[in-house]
Structure 1
Amino acid sequence: MICYVSLGSNVGDTEDNIHEALVLLEDYGDEIKLRGVSEYYETEPQGEIKDQPWFTNQVIKLEIDAEIWSAPGFLSTCTAIEAKMGRTRAVPGGPRPLDMDIIAWGDVEMDMDFLTLPHPRAKERAFVLIPLRELAPDFVFPDGTTIDEALDAIDYRVEGNKIWQDS
């Protein structure tokens, strides 16, 4: 099963935080195999809390043993890694050492209270779409939207590896 995960950090050494998350995932051995990583992207904060450090973002491609892992089970592992890295959820959308979002879990579509796949806001986020395009340029969302079509539908600007959302 191929899975794409978006990683973000804006507290401490952000690239080191993301690297540490990859090391923790690699601890699972053959159950979770890292198959690709995008470049790092610096992204201005999204949402309501703009007064915080910019994020470092990356998308990774994983091969997951589907006989062992379900998407909800893997989400629990991501949440545990976030907590181990010091993430608290006291301020929703606030600064955090690590954020992990499952973008896609194969071609699975699900809508549960705690997990929706593909990620419901992936098509609205240049900081997900641009690095995802590096790893899976032919990726198509279940509704038929390509990455380029999704990017064309949002306002963003990219200079080097910096992404700005136009408000």
Structure 2
Amino acid sequence: MTETPNPNIVDADTLTGEMRPIRRVVIALGSNLGERFTALQGAIGVLADTPEVWITGVSPVYESTPVDCPPGAQDFLNAVVLADTTLSAHRLLDRAQAIEDAFDRERGEVKNAPRTLDVDLIAVGDRRSDSDALRLPHPRAHERPFVLKPWHDLEPDAELLDHGPVAVLLEKVGTEGLKLREDLVLETE
């Protein structure tokens, strides 16, 4: 298992000497096509192997009914990963999209179409972004129980930037449509 760095320390790039802060990252994983659990586990494996990313927690797996998806979409498996990183938000987004591509994620014109893997950046430290490419914090995380509940399981005192305590947000949206899958346990090694 990778040792978690002290989040109060600034990491120096060994080649350039550039100082980069270590930021806490919240990443949501979801899959509702193909081998759903295998896709989630694979994403965690790739994240764990990513230089400058240190996984510090993986939530339990939840099964959730599709939200805003086309009719007939299958249930999702969802989890949340907490990590520390010195990568910029845009580099982390590039990595997330590369992971999705490695698991044959198709990006079509149908909004919220079923997918083999979804890797969403929910929060990257205190970074804010409102570009077409990257929105931070994630614009719908505060209303998604399949993000809030697994995150709350890992960090009961967590706060979503600009929205407040995750516990309060979860209380507002409830957990209808979520089912804990105790039979599925994601590993970090």
The structure whose Rg is larger is 2
Q: Paired residue for 2:141?
A: 122
Q: Paired residue for 2:84?
A: 63
> Does 2:65 align with 1:47?
no
Q: Paired residue for 2:162?
A: 143
Query: How large is the Cα RMSD of the aligned pairs?
Result: 1.7
Post-superposition shift, 1:144?
Answer: 5.2
> Does 2:124 align with 1:102?
no
Alpha-carbon distance between aligned partners in 2 of 1:124 and 1:40, rounded to the nearest angstrom: 18
Q: Paired residue for 2:41?
A: 19
User: Could you tell me whether the CA contact under 8 Å between 2:65 and 2:177 is conserved in 1?
Assistant: no
Secondary structure of 1:153 counterpart = helix
Which residue of 94, 111, 115 maps to 2:130?
A: 111
Q: 1:159 to 1:87 in 2, by over 3 A?
A: closer
Post-superposition shift, 1:136?
Answer: 1.6
TM-score (norm 2): 0.78
Q: Which stretches in structure 2 are left out of the alignment for 5+ residues? A: 1-22, 182-189
Q: 1:61 to 1:78 in 2, by over 3 A?
A: same
Q: 1:123 to 1:44 in 2, by over 3 A?
A: same
Which residue of 94, 107, 122 maps to 1:76?
A: 94
**Number of matched residues?**
158
Letter of the 2:59 counterpart:
S
Which piece of structure 1 moves more, 143-152 or 52-61? 143-152
Q: Which stretches in structure 1 are left out of the alignment for 5+ residues? A: 163-167
User: Could you tell me whether the CA contact under 8 Å between 2:28 and 2:81 is conserved in 1?
Assistant: yes
User: Could you tell me whether the CA contact under 8 Å between 2:29 and 2:119 is conserved in 1?
Assistant: yes
